[in-house]
Structure 1
Amino acid sequence: MACHLPGYAIGSSTFALRPYKIMPRPTQPTAEIVGAIALTTAHRLLAAIDEGDL
């Protein structure tokens, strides 16, 4: 179950593929890592904004 905490970044990632194509299984871990890095970066940016660094 997902919940949203105020001030906490949430997100999803979408990867475009050609019509009727499925993402090859070997690339799925890489896609997950890209999403995790993006979410971590969002958390760091929010923290920097809260601290007045940005």
Structure 2
Amino acid sequence: MTGLVHPSEWTYLRVVMLKLGFTNRWVNIVMSVVTSVSFLILFNEQKLDAKPTREICQ
């Protein structure tokens, strides 16, 4: 497996965590972290938020 995780694997991750006994709240927190990507860009001393709209392909 490469470092890139396909979005279809997020469902698998959710199911595994639930079967291991993690609470729905914890699973939702973890899923929100692993499925969201954002960047903070410093440009001319100004902070700009950026959220990609497409997946990165390697």
> When the two structures are superposed, what TM-score results if normalisation uses the length of structure 2?
0.31
More helix by share: 1
- Structure with greater contact order relative to length (CA < 8 Å, sep ≥ 6): 1
